[in-house]
Structure 1
Amino acid sequence: MAIRLWAGCALLTAVSLAGCTKPPIVSSRIVLSPNARISLEIGLAHDGSPLFRVRRDGRDVIAPSTLALDMTERGTAVRFDHLVITAVDHGKRDERYAMPGRATPVVSHFMTMTMHVQSRQAPVRRFNLEARVSDQGAAVRIVVPRQAGIDQIAVAADRTQFVFPQDRACLAVRHYEMKNSHEGGYTPIKASALAHSGLYDLPLVCRTGRGGETLALTESGLENFAAAYFAGNGDKNGVRLRLTPNPAKPKAPPVTIAHVAVVTPWRVVMLADGPEDLIASTLVDDLASPSRVADADWVRPGKAAWDWWSGSLAPSVPHAGHNDATYKVYIDFAGRFGLPYMMIDKGWAWRPPGESVDLPNANITRNAVGVHIPELVRYARARHVKVWLWVNWLTLDKQMAQALPLYERLGIAGIKVDFIYRQDQEIVAFYHRLLSEAAKHHLMVDLHAAMVPRGLARTYPNFLTQEGVMGLEYNRWSTKVTSGYNVRTAYTRAIVGPMDYTPGGFRNVPPAQFQERSIGPMVMTTRAQQLALFVVYPSPFMMLADAPSAYEDAAHRPVPGADFLKLVPAAWDETRALGGTFGNSIIVARRKGSDWFVGVLTDEHPRHLAIPLSFLGKGRWHVDSWTDGTVYTSIDRREGAVRSRSGSLILDAHANGGAALRFRPVR
């Protein structure tokens, strides 16, 4: 494909310009997606600085936007303008890879392009502008290859922008400090209202204004670099990037790299015909580095019992809390329910007398008084249950060399690493080191108070899930986790990777009756919505938030809805979006083997919904349904038979409600 040169006003469709003025891109190359619906154009502006543009079906979704870094080499500025194109390489990339919890194999198809550019004037510096385009979206990144004269780079800013051709309706979560838990509520906002000084977490999801078409902006392939936030783009609709500095060095460049190439994360534009379709996208993982774990057959997705959320409720234990007797109640429950795991949360490790259970000066190689981890592991093994342990990341950083081999010898299945609160370059390096070392010791990992996913679960398959979401825990101290929030989260945070939201609250009350409490917390949704979250939200390690006494009666019989929790998988073979209204309702189907599970979420308003059955194969299907009952804690449990050609199932979902369904082929 030849270089495009501006002549007359041929390229003015990209932006709104008065009269016949110069277009923003004067020379460029284009790469098309396999289905030819998406195009990514990279070229140079009049001053020789790089620009990119993304189009879908011939229309701009990202107008010409800056692609640049502010860099210095040993204190001397490295100019990112007055560049010339020296070569362009086109190709394609077809991959098949396995990920626990996802369809195996995942198959990705990219058309690729690398534009080689260099400065016109001495000292000559070389850069690569890389592009990948699939049917799910487009991505760009900058590479500064190793070269004479550049061996120590400091990146002060990534000036890459995403310019929208017009204002857009978006869902965004704003933070007010660089150091935070990445937990917040995605709320509706116009792109033009995004604050120039804001810190908006990833992803940013926006409607394009063309039917149901929706885009999501995020990043992938993060290594040896700082993660980014978005900020408003000033007088241009869209966003710019803000790199995260080291909190101990807030005025230093966010990124310093010596003696290796500079490789930015992929700047990703996810695209879909409808907003619900984004939940099935694998684009973030497709762009990530391939697995670095030679043998991951030992990694096992699954559900877990968990003691923390309910306040360690165990009515049969006289002094329930951080002790063996309480943990054994949860292990016994996991065994009865067929859960492969029990998560022992903070409080199990030795700490100085009188110190908090979550302080980083605990010793995570020793037991607290009243806790005996080796005995609990043996007790759990006899019930076909394995144990996970909670650790503070600062403690683990100091004791990693001792703790991980010990946990492997004990038979610990995995670790939940908490209170990270950072996404700067230093903590990104910690992520890679931790996940690599954990894999060597056959330990799975769950990261909390962590940044949102950037594809690391593909690179390290033992990285099963992470937080980076305002989960069910917020019901203990706030009214923030509403049904509307749950629906909006399905359209945003849930589309970029696994999410340890920890659903399953069974003390269901209407919002007017809700009370904040840390022992036996309530939730402001129907029980059916709590069940549906296990289908809608992706997490190969899925914790049941509530206590055993919430799921069983005194005779250990499942209460209404708990039977669904016993049978719903944590890992899936296929995902399809069936419908929804942006931010108001969503219907998601996931397949395990020959069975399909469907989850339906609604916001604060009752909804009359149709579940299309065309996703089912030929023949008759037995359907089991768990839908909203007469009160928040009740379940309307039904079963019957359908055919895929039957059209749709009609569902009247309550306010703050939902539904969970299972379809099994009739042999």
Structure 2
Amino acid sequence: MKTVNHLKTIASLAVVLTNLGVVEAAVAGSVHKLNSPDGDITVTVNADKQVSYSINLNGQPLLAPSVIDLAIDGKPGLSSGVAVDNVSYQAHSQVLYPEVRVKSAEVVDEYKAMTVTFANGYTVEFRAYDNGVAYRFVTDFEQPVTVLNETAEFNFSTSATVYYPLEESFYSHNERSYLHQSIGEIKPTDLASTPTLVDAGSAKVLITETALRDYAGLWLLGDGKDGLKGTFPQQPTKVVDGEPEWIDRNQPVVERADYIAKTDGKRAYPWRVLAIAENDAELLTNQLTYQLAIPNKVADTSWIKPGKVAWDWYNANNLKGVDFEAGLNTETYKFYVDFASEHGIEYVILDEGWYPLGDLMGSVPGFDVPEIIAYAKERNVGIILWTTWLTLEQQFDEAMDRFAELGAVGIKPDFFQRDDQEMVNFYWKIADEAAKRHLLVDFHGAYKPAGLRRTYPNVISREGVKGLEWNKWSLDSTPEHNTTLPFIRMVAGPMDYTPGAMSNAVGPAAYEQIQYSGKAPDHADFTIRFNRPMSQTTRVHQMAMFTVFESPLQMMADSPTQYLDNPECAEFIASVPSVWDESIALNGQIGDYVTFARRSGSEWFVGAMTDEHSRKMNIDLDFLPAGRYDIVIFQDGINAHRFAEDFKKVTKTVTHRDSLTMQLAPGGGFTARITPRN
């Protein structure tokens, strides 16, 4: 793999477009090898009796031989001793230009490929990148097929550890903590969603998928040894209504078929992706899930506008100092619109409560949605409408038409909790029909990003992450969790974590560390409050999330009046872009700390976050071009370890030769805006 100077990974590089063409290889023997462009990664495919692949990194084993197969009803699989018909190789290099530039305006897509064609109508394509490996099946049958199962083994060469998002069942919001433990401790019954990260000693290997279409999602189980194996939700045959209070959104699966997909016989299947990083920071700018995704299908994307959102649900519509009763009513949302307009915030979401639950065609007394949307348009603010997936499915055509007729700019479907083939196809239907109506889509209660955002760039963000809202009912959104997410969940794609809490407290985890250091206050300040939530981090940790966490539709989760009470913080947050021309990972260690420098136009933003440990960081500014810059810095205040809302604002002039030394409090952060002078 290419070394990273000072742990910096530059996401946009100039390359010369080349296509070295296809080279046919004689089919001699059962072992075939593929190297990455830089030669550091080697994939070895063994097609003797069954098909397996292994990966070496710098000449040393990384992934032990791992069997792959696709079991199609009535067809012999690859474990039936099927002969290899042909092996071909290709080298490829080009620059991709994302319609929505999450990490960068340009993505270098450079790889070497090996295509292995078998005598039974199966083909397996492998690609080796400098930062990972991927493979997928391709079938060539005239008639539709029933896929009974897929074998996907991930066997590691040493006793590895794993960051494991343990799940109770396939019916899940995929909002998990990551359990760090020996891979041998993962039982064959321990189910995990993806992405999942394995620490193999010599490198980190992140397992996920992309180009997920007309198929079931990839999950993982342990094998009781040193490996993981893929598993897939079978097609539901019976669902039941949820509890009465959730009947408009929950539909648990109680019976399943004996297959995972019925699909076209001529098709390419999802890519199985292994992102590889010799140091943690290399994961932060890995874009393989985008590079391998199905290209854009939306002809005109000029209407797709990233931005920030004034969000209502987290803060429970709490307003103060107003002359009306705050809540689910027209006056409250006009206040949100005014706040957004005054701060240059592009959107406001109308979350749960804008329609009578169960009927997207209905209206709520005192809640004039057409009036709110018209009011917002006059102030250059777009309105996004929340909906449960089940009500949307039941009223799909008329509801989608109504969203467009109302003048909404996007929708936020929620509570899916499934990624079987049927539900995956519904995601694609929503994306397609929303694009026809020029509607953005922000999936919540959702599975991880798996390529749809490239195919339909109007799928602008997605949840599938344990985010800030968990502070309303749990202790799970810890500083350690926050500094783990960029290395795992964010590698799969944008995550709608919904940052920006202005009520901040010393959380239990940070408090324990302060106590140990002898600098503790008398008690941890954090408490669980559903309607007036707080974070378990410092104020500046929350502010830094807007640079560190990637979401082209980035929420400002707290109440407008909370932001109005903290104008310096609010104005800074509002100034942070939600998409980037360039991203540089300055440093990072999973679960401990992370620092990004990101560029939008000629401006740079820096964000750093630490776990529950206080930390001194030295940040070189040598990523800046030559010249003089004005920098606005927000850093933890001297008392942030005991009063988490304490911060210090500093303004000064810097150049690319300067460095910054910052003291981060437990659960703390640092963030800055850097603007060229003249």
Determine if the TM-score, normalized by the shorter chain, exceeds 0.5: yes
Q: Does 1:387 align with 2:383?
A: yes
Q: Cα distance, 1:257 vs. partner?
A: 2.2
Return the offset for 1:253: 2.8
Q: What's the CA shift for 1:641?
A: 2.5
Distance in 1 (alpha carbons) for counterparts of 2:263 and 2:440: 31
Aligned to 2:531: 519
Q: Please state how far the C-alpha of 1:283 moved relative to its aligned partner.
A: 0.6
Q: By how many angstroms is 1:61 displaced?
A: 1.8
> What is residue 409 of structure 1 aligned with on the other side?
405
User: Tell me, what secondary structure is at the counterpart of 2:61?
Assistant: strand
Shift of 1:262: 5.1
Q: Give, as a single letter, the amino acid of the residue that structure 2 aligns with 1:643.
A: T
Letter matched to residue 88 of structure 2: D
Aligned to 1:31: 34
CA distance in 1, matches of 2:278, 2:677: 33
- Which runs of no fewer than 5 residues in structure 1 stay unpaired? 6-25, 119-124, 352-356
Matches within 5 A, 1:204-219: 204-210=196-202, 213-219=203-209
Aligned residues: 616
Map of 1:339 onto structure 2:
345
TM-superposed deviation, 1:338: 0.8
Matched, 1:324 2:340: no
TM superposition shift of 1:651: 1.4
Partner of 2:12: none
Is the 1:99–1:106 contact (alpha carbons within 8 Å) kept by the matching residues of 2? Answer: no
Aligned equivalent of 1:602, options 610, 615, 639: 610
Shift of 1:77: 6.4
Which whole-Å CA distance do the structure 2 matches of 1:59 and 1:116 have between them? 28
Equivalent of 1:296, from 297, 301, 305? 301
Superposed, 1:307-456 pairs within 5 Å as 307-315=312-320, 316=322, 318-349=324-355, 351=356, 357=357, 362-456=358-452
Work out whether residues 243 and 254 of structure 1, in 8 Å CA contact, stay in contact via their aligned partners in 2. no
Match of 2:67 in 1: 66
Show the 5 A alignment for 1:638-657: 638-646=650-658, 648-657=659-668
Aligned position for 2:128 = 133
TM-aligned CA deviation for residue 79 of structure 1:
6.1
- After superposing on structure 2, the runs of 4+ consecutive aligned residues of structure 1 that deviate more than 4 Å are 1-5, 76-79
Structure 1 residues 78 and 139: alpha-carbon distance in aligned structure 2, compared to 1, 3 A threshold: closer
Distance 1:240 1:3 in 2: 32
| Corresponding residue number in structure 1 for 2:192 | 200
Q: Equivalences for 1:213-228 in 2 at 5 Å?
A: 213-228=203-218
Matched to 2:98, the amino acid is A
**Using the alignment, how far apart are the partners of 1:611 and 1:247 within structure 2?**
52
Partner of 2:19: none
Map of 2:284 onto structure 1: 279
Alignment-mate amino acid for residue 67 of structure 1 = I
| Residues 157, 514 of structure 1: alpha-carbon distance in 2 compared, 3 angstrom cutoff | same
Structure 1 residue 129, shift from structure 2 partner: 0.8
**2:166 pairs with 1:174:** yes
Query: What's the CA shift for 1:260?
Result: 2.9
1:632 and 2:631 aligned? no
| SS of alignment partner, residue 159 of structure 1 | strand
- Partners in 2 of 1:183 and 1:570 — Cα distance? 22
**Structure 2 letter corresponding to 1:659:** F
CA distance in structure 2 between the partners assigned to 1:77 and 1:37 by the alignment: 35
Q: How much does 1:566 deviate?
A: 1.8
CA distance in 2, matches of 1:284, 1:609: 31
Say which of 554, 576, 594 aligns to 2:584. 576
Partner of 1:52: 53
Letter in 1 for 2:228: V
- Report the aligned-residue RMSD: 1.8
Question: Does the residue aligned with 1:230 lie in a helix, a strand or coil?
Answer: strand
Deviations 1:539-581 (A, max 9, x none): 000010000111013xxxx434222112111111111111122
Describe the SS at the equivalent of 2:503: coil
Given that residues 2 and 29 in structure 1 are in contact (C-alpha distance below 8 angstroms), is that contact kept between their aligned partners in structure 2? no
Partner of 1:88: 87
Please tell me the residue identity of whatever aligns with 1:440: K
Per the alignment, residue 115 of structure 1 pairs with 116
Inter-CA distance 609–263: structure 2 relative to 1 (3 Å threshold): same
SS at match of 2:567: coil
Segment drifting more, 182-191 vs 292-301: 182-191
- d(CA) in 1 for partners of 2:105 and 2:399? 32
The amino acid that maps onto 1:657 is: G
- Structure 1 counterpart of 2:495: 499
Cα displacement (A) at 1:246: 3.2
Unaligned runs of 5+ in 2: 1-23, 239-254, 508-523
The answer to whether the Cα contact below 8 Å between 1:380 and 1:387 also exists between their aligned partners in 2 is yes
User: Partner of 2:561 in structure 1?
Assistant: 549
Q: Distance in 1 between matches of 2:349 and 2:428?
A: 23
CA contact (8 A) 1:128 1:142 kept: yes
When the two structures are superposed, what TM-score results if normalisation uses the length of structure 2? 0.88
1:632 and 1:126 map into 2 onto residues whose CA distance is: 61
| CA–CA distance in structure 1, aligned partners of residues 62 and 45 of structure 2 | 14
Query: How far apart, in 2, do the equivalents of 1:262 and 1:255 lie?
Result: 16
Q: Per the alignment, in what secondary structure is the counterpart of residue 327 of structure 1?
A: helix
**What is the distance in 2 between the residues matched to 1:299 and 1:571?**
12
1:661 and 2:653 are equivalent in the alignment? no
* C-alpha distance in 1 between matches for 2:553 and 2:450: 18
Residues 1:144 and 2:139 aligned together: yes
Task: Provide the rounded CA distance (Å) in 1 between the counterparts of 2:504 and 2:126.
Answer: 48
Match of 1:464 among 456, 460, 464: 460
Contact 2:27 2:86 in 1 (8 A): no
**Rounded Cα–Cα distance in structure 2 between residues aligned with 1:259 and 1:345:** 38
Distance 1:205 1:259 in 2: 32
Out of 616, 628, 633, the position equivalent to 1:620 is: 628
Identity of aligned residues (%): 33
CA distance in 2, matches of 1:243, 1:317: 54
Read off the aligned partner of 1:31 and give its amino acid letter. L
The partner residue of 2:232 within 243, 246, 249 is: 243
Distance 1:544 1:259, change over 3 A: closer
Query: What SS does the corresponding residue of 2:469 show, helix, strand or coil?
Result: helix
Q: Quick one: which amino acid aligns to residue 99 of structure 1?
A: E
Q: CA deviation at 1:132?
A: 1.5
Q: Aligned letter for 1:321? A: G
Residues 497-525 of structure 1, C-alpha deviations (whole Å, 9 max, x = no match):
01000000110011222221222211110
CA distance in 2: counterparts of 1:471 and 1:126, whole angstroms: 44
Q: In 2, distance between residues paired with 1:477 and 1:258?
A: 41
The 1-side partners of 2:406 and 2:108 are apart by 37
Q: Deviations over 1:602-622 (max 9, x none)?
A: 111101222232322223332
Q: 2: distance between equivalents of 1:111 and 1:365?
A: 52
What is the CA distance between 1:201 and its match in structure 2? Answer: 1.6
Contact 2:106 2:581 in 1 (8 A): no
Give the Cα–Cα distance (whole angstroms) in 1 for the partners of residues 264 and 274 of structure 2.
31
The code of the aligned residue for 2:543 comes to L
* CA distance in 2: counterparts of 1:114 and 1:146, whole angstroms: 18
User: RCO (CA 8 Å, sep 6+): is it higher in 1 or 2?
Assistant: 2
Alignment partner for residue 175 of structure 2, among 137, 161, 183? 183
Query: What is the match of residue 98 of structure 1?
Result: 98
Secondary structure of 1:363's counterpart equals: coil
- Separation in 2 of the partners of 1:417 and 1:502? 16
Structure 2 CA distance for aligned equivalents of residues 308 and 384 of structure 1: 22
